[in-house]
Protein backbone atom coordinates (compact mmCIF):
# COMPACT_ATOMS: atom_id res chain seq x y z
CA UNK A 1 0.00 0.00 0.00
CA UNK A 2 2.82 2.39 0.71
CA UNK A 3 4.09 1.87 -2.78
CA UNK A 4 1.05 3.45 -4.32
CA UNK A 5 1.87 7.10 -3.73
CA UNK A 6 5.26 6.72 -5.36
CA UNK A 7 4.00 5.20 -8.55
CA UNK A 8 1.12 7.61 -8.72
CA UNK A 9 3.46 10.51 -8.21
CA UNK A 10 5.83 9.44 -10.93
CA UNK A 11 3.10 8.75 -13.43
CA UNK A 12 1.23 11.90 -12.53
CA UNK A 13 4.36 13.97 -12.97
CA UNK A 14 4.87 12.21 -16.24
CA UNK A 15 1.34 13.06 -17.30
CA UNK A 16 1.79 16.71 -16.44
CA UNK A 17 4.97 16.92 -18.43
CA UNK A 18 3.36 15.17 -21.33
CA UNK A 19 0.45 17.58 -21.39
CA UNK A 20 2.68 20.58 -20.96
CA UNK A 21 4.92 19.51 -23.80
CA UNK A 22 2.85 17.40 -26.17
CA UNK A 23 -0.09 19.76 -26.47
CA UNK A 24 1.92 22.82 -27.50
CA UNK A 25 3.97 20.71 -29.89
CA UNK A 26 0.86 19.27 -31.46
CA UNK A 27 -0.84 22.64 -31.74
CA UNK A 28 2.13 24.54 -33.07
CA UNK A 29 3.07 21.90 -35.59
CA UNK A 30 -0.49 22.06 -36.91
CA UNK A 31 -0.65 25.83 -37.03
CA UNK A 32 2.67 26.04 -38.82
CA UNK A 33 1.96 23.05 -40.96
CA UNK A 34 4.68 22.02 -43.39
CA UNK A 35 7.20 24.29 -41.76
CA UNK A 36 10.59 23.06 -40.64
CA UNK A 37 9.23 22.80 -37.12
CA UNK A 38 6.39 20.61 -38.29
CA UNK A 39 8.64 18.35 -40.31
CA UNK A 40 11.14 18.05 -37.46
CA UNK A 41 8.48 17.18 -34.93
CA UNK A 42 6.96 14.65 -37.28
CA UNK A 43 10.27 12.85 -37.49
CA UNK A 44 10.81 13.06 -33.73
CA UNK A 45 7.35 11.72 -33.05
CA UNK A 46 7.97 8.89 -35.43
CA UNK A 47 11.12 7.97 -33.61
CA UNK A 48 9.42 8.35 -30.27
CA UNK A 49 6.77 5.86 -31.29
CA UNK A 50 9.27 3.26 -32.29
CA UNK A 51 11.76 3.47 -29.45
CA UNK A 52 11.27 0.65 -26.98
CA UNK A 53 11.20 2.24 -23.55
CA UNK A 54 13.37 -0.38 -21.93
CA UNK A 55 16.04 0.05 -24.55
CA UNK A 56 15.99 3.79 -24.11
CA UNK A 57 16.22 3.29 -20.37
CA UNK A 58 19.26 1.06 -20.73
CA UNK A 59 20.96 3.45 -23.11
CA UNK A 60 20.32 6.45 -20.92
CA UNK A 61 21.46 4.60 -17.86
CA UNK A 62 24.58 3.54 -19.63
CA UNK A 63 25.55 6.95 -20.87
CA UNK A 64 24.21 9.38 -18.38
CA UNK A 65 24.34 7.21 -15.32
CA UNK A 66 27.45 5.13 -15.61
CA UNK A 67 29.70 6.70 -18.19
CA UNK A 68 29.09 10.32 -17.38
CA UNK A 69 27.92 9.65 -13.88
CA UNK A 70 25.73 12.68 -13.57
CA UNK A 71 22.47 11.01 -12.69
CA UNK A 72 21.77 8.14 -10.30
CA UNK A 73 20.26 5.06 -11.84
CA UNK A 74 18.80 3.04 -9.06
CA UNK A 75 16.09 3.58 -6.52
CA UNK A 76 14.73 6.89 -5.44
CA UNK A 77 17.01 7.69 -2.55
CA UNK A 78 20.72 7.65 -2.11
CA UNK A 79 22.26 5.52 0.55
CA UNK A 80 23.02 8.47 2.73
CA UNK A 81 19.62 10.05 2.15
CA UNK A 82 18.72 10.11 5.84
CA UNK A 83 21.69 12.27 6.67
CA UNK A 84 20.93 14.96 4.17
CA UNK A 85 19.39 18.27 5.02
CA UNK A 86 15.80 19.03 4.10
CA UNK A 87 16.21 20.69 0.73
CA UNK A 88 19.03 18.36 -0.18
CA UNK A 89 16.68 15.46 0.44
CA UNK A 90 14.22 16.86 -2.04
CA UNK A 91 16.96 17.43 -4.57
CA UNK A 92 18.18 13.92 -4.06
CA UNK A 93 14.79 12.43 -4.82
CA UNK A 94 14.39 14.75 -7.75
CA UNK A 95 17.70 13.65 -9.23
CA UNK A 96 16.71 10.06 -8.87
CA UNK A 97 13.46 10.71 -10.64
CA UNK A 98 14.85 12.37 -13.73
CA UNK A 99 15.63 9.24 -15.68
CA UNK A 100 12.49 7.26 -14.85
CA UNK A 101 10.19 10.14 -15.55
CA UNK A 102 11.97 10.96 -18.80
CA UNK A 103 11.72 7.40 -20.01
CA UNK A 104 8.09 7.01 -19.12
CA UNK A 105 7.26 10.27 -20.81
CA UNK A 106 8.79 9.82 -24.21
CA UNK A 107 6.51 7.19 -25.69
CA UNK A 108 3.27 8.81 -24.62
CA UNK A 109 4.61 12.17 -25.67
CA UNK A 110 4.82 10.98 -29.24
CA UNK A 111 1.31 9.59 -29.19
CA UNK A 112 -0.45 12.52 -27.64
CA UNK A 113 1.31 15.17 -29.62
CA UNK A 114 0.39 13.34 -32.83
CA UNK A 115 -3.22 13.11 -31.71
CA UNK A 116 -3.37 16.79 -30.84
CA UNK A 117 -1.72 17.67 -34.13
CA UNK A 118 -4.25 15.68 -36.16
CA UNK A 119 -7.19 17.15 -34.29
CA UNK A 120 -5.86 20.65 -34.68
CA UNK A 121 -5.26 20.23 -38.40
CA UNK A 122 -8.78 18.96 -38.83
CA UNK A 123 -10.28 21.77 -36.78
CA UNK A 124 -8.42 24.38 -38.77
CA UNK A 125 -10.24 23.12 -41.85
CA UNK A 126 -13.70 23.57 -40.37
CA UNK A 127 -16.05 26.05 -42.08
CA UNK A 128 -16.53 28.12 -38.94
CA UNK A 129 -12.84 28.97 -38.99
CA UNK A 130 -13.27 30.48 -42.44
CA UNK A 131 -16.30 32.38 -41.20
CA UNK A 132 -14.38 33.78 -38.24
CA UNK A 133 -11.53 34.91 -40.44
CA UNK A 134 -13.97 36.46 -42.88
CA UNK A 135 -15.12 38.80 -40.15
CA UNK A 136 -11.62 40.06 -39.70
CA UNK A 137 -10.98 38.35 -36.39
CA UNK A 138 -7.22 38.30 -35.81
CA UNK A 139 -5.54 34.98 -36.54
CA UNK A 140 -4.34 34.61 -32.96
CA UNK A 141 -7.88 34.87 -31.66
CA UNK A 142 -9.21 32.40 -34.18
CA UNK A 143 -6.58 29.83 -33.38
CA UNK A 144 -6.25 30.13 -29.66
CA UNK A 145 -9.78 30.85 -28.67
CA UNK A 146 -11.82 28.94 -31.22
CA UNK A 147 -9.72 26.20 -32.73
CA UNK A 148 -7.87 25.20 -29.61
CA UNK A 149 -11.01 24.56 -27.64
CA UNK A 150 -12.57 22.52 -30.38
CA UNK A 151 -9.43 20.54 -31.05
CA UNK A 152 -8.63 19.75 -27.42
CA UNK A 153 -12.05 18.36 -26.65
CA UNK A 154 -11.05 14.79 -27.49
CA UNK A 155 -7.95 15.15 -25.35
CA UNK A 156 -10.22 15.03 -22.34
CA UNK A 157 -11.11 11.49 -23.27
CA UNK A 158 -7.46 10.61 -23.42
CA UNK A 159 -6.86 12.02 -19.98
CA UNK A 160 -9.66 9.97 -18.56
CA UNK A 161 -8.38 6.84 -20.22
CA UNK A 162 -4.92 7.38 -18.80
CA UNK A 163 -6.17 7.07 -15.26
CA UNK A 164 -5.51 3.34 -15.00
CA UNK A 165 -2.06 4.00 -16.39
CA UNK A 166 -1.31 5.87 -13.22
CA UNK A 167 -0.83 2.65 -11.36
CA UNK A 168 -0.12 0.15 -14.05
CA UNK A 169 2.07 2.08 -16.44
CA UNK A 170 5.36 1.53 -14.86
CA UNK A 171 6.03 -2.18 -14.70
CA UNK A 172 8.98 -2.18 -17.01
CA UNK A 173 10.77 0.95 -16.07
CA UNK A 174 10.16 0.43 -12.36
CA UNK A 175 11.96 -2.87 -12.72
CA UNK A 176 14.82 -1.31 -14.57
CA UNK A 177 15.32 1.56 -12.21
CA UNK A 178 14.59 -0.48 -9.11
CA UNK A 179 11.89 1.88 -7.97
CA UNK A 180 9.70 0.49 -5.21
CA UNK A 181 6.39 1.22 -6.82
CA UNK A 182 3.20 -0.66 -7.58
CA UNK A 183 4.40 -1.77 -11.00
CA UNK A 184 7.31 -3.59 -9.51
CA UNK A 185 5.10 -4.95 -6.77
CA UNK A 186 2.84 -6.46 -9.38
CA UNK A 187 5.76 -7.91 -11.23
CA UNK A 188 7.17 -9.41 -8.07
CA UNK A 189 3.82 -10.94 -7.17
CA UNK A 190 3.59 -12.40 -10.66
CA UNK A 191 6.99 -13.98 -10.31
CA UNK A 192 6.16 -15.31 -6.88
CA UNK A 193 2.73 -16.45 -8.01
CA UNK A 194 1.24 -14.42 -5.17
CA UNK A 195 -2.31 -14.78 -6.43
CA UNK A 196 -4.15 -12.63 -3.86
CA UNK A 197 -2.00 -9.62 -4.67
CA UNK A 198 -2.29 -10.27 -8.38
CA UNK A 199 -6.06 -10.43 -8.17
CA UNK A 200 -6.24 -7.34 -6.00
CA UNK A 201 -4.22 -5.32 -8.45
CA UNK A 202 -6.22 -6.54 -11.41
CA UNK A 203 -9.42 -5.50 -9.73
CA UNK A 204 -7.92 -2.15 -8.81
CA UNK A 205 -6.87 -1.72 -12.41
CA UNK A 206 -10.32 -2.54 -13.71
CA UNK A 207 -11.96 -0.17 -11.26
CA UNK A 208 -9.66 2.63 -12.29
CA UNK A 209 -10.34 1.95 -15.96
CA UNK A 210 -14.06 2.21 -15.42
CA UNK A 211 -13.63 5.28 -13.27
CA UNK A 212 -11.41 6.85 -15.89
CA UNK A 213 -13.94 6.22 -18.64
CA UNK A 214 -16.70 7.61 -16.48
CA UNK A 215 -14.74 10.75 -15.66
CA UNK A 216 -13.84 11.19 -19.30
CA UNK A 217 -17.50 11.04 -20.26
CA UNK A 218 -18.46 13.54 -17.60
CA UNK A 219 -15.62 15.83 -18.50
CA UNK A 220 -16.64 15.74 -22.13
CA UNK A 221 -20.24 16.52 -21.28
CA UNK A 222 -19.15 19.50 -19.22
CA UNK A 223 -16.94 20.86 -21.93
CA UNK A 224 -19.08 20.28 -25.00
CA UNK A 225 -22.34 22.21 -25.07
CA UNK A 226 -23.66 19.89 -27.75
CA UNK A 227 -23.86 17.20 -25.13
CA UNK A 228 -24.75 19.38 -22.21
CA UNK A 229 -27.78 20.88 -23.94
CA UNK A 230 -29.60 18.42 -26.13
CA UNK A 231 -30.94 19.75 -29.39
CA UNK A 232 -34.27 21.44 -28.99
CA UNK A 233 -36.21 23.67 -31.30
CA UNK A 234 -35.87 27.10 -29.74
Partner 1 sequence: MKEILRVENLTVRLPQPDGMMTVARDVSFSLHEGEILCCVGESGCGKTTTALALTDLLPEHSRVSFDRLVFNGHVAQDATTCASWRGQGIANIFQEASAHLDPLFCVGAQVRETLITTRGLDEEAAHAEARRLLDRVGLKPAEDVERFYPHQLSGGMNQRVLVALALACAPRVLIADEPTTGLDQALRLELAGLIKGLAAEKGWAVLWITHDIDLAEVVADRAMVMYAGRIVEEGKAQDVFTSPLHPYTQALLACRLRKDAAGRLPSIYGEVPNFRALPAGCAFHPRCAQRLKECDKTIPETFPQAGGRKVRCYLRRTV
Partner 2 sequence: MLRDFSKRKQAQFGLLLVGLFLAASLIGPHVCPWQPDAVDEAHLLTPPGRSHWLGTDQLGRDILSRLVAGARISLLIGFVVVLIATAVGVLIGATAGYFGGGVDNVLMRLVDIALCFPVTFLILAVIAVLEPSTVNIILILGLTGWMGQARLVRAEVLSLKSREFVLLARSYGASHSRIILRHLVPNAAGPVIVAAIFGVAAAILAEAGLSFLGLGIQPPTPSWGNMLADARSTLGVAWWQSLFPGAAIFLILVALNALGEAARASLRHEGKNYERDPAR
Is residue 164 at the binding interface for partner 2, with CB under 8 A as the rule?
A: yes
Pick from partner 2, partner 1, none: which does 132 bind, CB < 5 to 8 A by kind?
partner 1
Q: Which is nearer to partner 1, 6 or 152 (CB)?
A: 152
Query: Which one of 42, 78, 150, 213 is in contact with partner 1 (CB under 8 A)?
Result: 150
Contacting residue, 134, 191, 193, 196, with partner 1 by CB under 8 A: 134
Give the largest Cα separation in the chain, rounded: 70
132: Cβ–Cβ under 8 A, 6 or more apart, which residues?
141, 142, 146
Provide the mask over 83-112, with x wherever binding to partner 2 is found by CB under 8 A and - wherever it is not.
------------------------------
Q: State the binding string over 88-127 for partner 1 (x if CB under 8 A, else -).
A: --------------------------------------xx
Interface with partner 2 in residues 169-208 (CB under 8 A): 169, 171-172, 175-176, 186-187, 190-191, 193, 198, 201-202, 205-206, 208
Gap between the Cα atoms of 19 and 150, Å rounded: 17
Asked if 168 is part of the footprint of partner 2 (rule: CB under 8 A), the reply reads yes
At closest approach, how far in Å is the CB of 136 from partner 1?
2
Q: Kindly report the CA angle at 100 between 20 and 44, in degrees rounded to 5?
A: 55
Q: Which does 232 bind (CB under 5 to 8 A by kind): partner 2, partner 1, none?
A: partner 1
Contact status, residue 148 vs residue 126, Cβ threshold 8 Å = no
Task: Please report whether residue 136 would count as binding partner 1 according to CB under 8 A.
Answer: yes
Q: Which is nearer to partner 1, 52 or 138 (CB)?
A: 138
DSSP characters for the chain? -TTHHHHHHHHHHHHHHHHHHHHHHHHHHHHTTTSHHHHHHHHHHHHHHHS-HHHHHHHHIIIIIIIS--S--SSSS-TTGGGS-HHHHHHHHHHHHHHHHHHHHHHHHHHHHHHHHHHHHHHHTSHHHHHHHHTT--HHHIIIIIIHHHHHHHHHHHHHHTTTHHHHTTHHHHHHHT--SHHHHHHHHHHTT-HHHHHHHHHHHHHHHHHHHHHHHHHHHHH-HHHHS-----
Q: Is 232 in the site for partner 1 (CB under 8 A)?
A: yes
Binding site for partner 2 (CB under 8 A): 46-47, 49-52, 54-56, 58-59, 61-62, 65-67, 164-165, 167-169, 171-172, 175-176, 186-187, 190-191, 193, 198, 201-202, 205-206, 208-210
Binding site for partner 1 (CB under 8 A): 126-128, 130-138, 141, 146, 149-150, 153, 224-226, 229, 231-234
Amino acid sequence: MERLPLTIMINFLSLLIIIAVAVPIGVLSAVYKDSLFDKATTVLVFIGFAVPTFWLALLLMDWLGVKLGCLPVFGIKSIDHEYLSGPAKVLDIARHLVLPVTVSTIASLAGISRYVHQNMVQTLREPFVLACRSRGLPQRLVIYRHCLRNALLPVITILGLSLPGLISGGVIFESIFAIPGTGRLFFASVMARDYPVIMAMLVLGAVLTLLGNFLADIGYALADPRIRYPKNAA
